[in-house]
């Protein structure tokens, strides 16, 4: 389990739980302005963008997360999902494969890879 040290990030998690996504996003943006490498805030804001189907913004944040934490299978999975939803199947497949490097045999990743390969063949 990841320990949350930043009180604003903790508060944003509560906002997300209460479905107050706009409040959470504003708070996380402030955290990131003050600390551009705050990984938890970057990831949470990326997840909010994904929930809101704002995949381009989510990809930018998750790409930044990958630069900060290159071996995180969960971040790579989320980035792959954002690419998949953006219909960039080649990049989704790349991220899903990298996710498997750090979490082999993950059923969710394997399922996502199957979906993307099927879509990529149709394109």
User: What pTM was computed for the model?
Assistant: 0.89
Mean pLDDT, rounded, of the chain: 92
| Residues 82 and 111 both lie in one domain | yes
Please check whether residue 89 is in contact with residue 70, taking contact to mean a CB–CB distance below 8 angstroms. no
User: What is the predicted pLDDT for the residue at 41?
Assistant: 95
Higher pLDDT, 100 or 2: 100
Higher pLDDT, 81 or 4: 81
**Structure confidence by residue, pLDDT tens digits, 22-63:** 999 999 999 999 999 999 999 999 999 999 999 999 999 999
Asked, for residue 123, whether it belongs to a domain, the answer is yes
Residue with tokens 């998690």: 13
Beta-carbon contacts of 88 under 8 Å, excluding residues fewer than 6 positions away, are none
Does residue 120 carry a pLDDT above 80? Answer: no
DSSP 8-state class, residue 103: S
| Residues 46 and 62 both lie in one domain | yes
Burial of 62 (0-12, 13-18, 19+ CB in 10 A): buried
- CATH number where 100 lies: 1.25.40.10
CA dihedral 65, 71, 75, 78 (to 10 degrees): 130
């Amino acid at each position: 389990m990841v320990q949350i040290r930043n009180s604003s990030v903790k508060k944003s998690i509560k906002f997300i739980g209460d479905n107050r996504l706009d409040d959470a996003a504003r708070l996380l943006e402030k955290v990131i302005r003050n600390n551009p490498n705050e990984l938890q805030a970057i990831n949470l804001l990326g997840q909010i963008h994904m929930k809101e189907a704002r995949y381009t913004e989510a990809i930018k944040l998750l790409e930044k997360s990958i630069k900060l934490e290159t071996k995180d299978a969960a971040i790579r999975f989320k980035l792959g999902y954002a690419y998949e939803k953006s219909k960039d199947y080649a990049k989704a497949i790349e991220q899903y494969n990298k996710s498997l490097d750090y979490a082999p045999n993950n059923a969710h990743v394997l399922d996502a890879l199957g979906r993307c390969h099927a879509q990529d063949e149709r394109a």
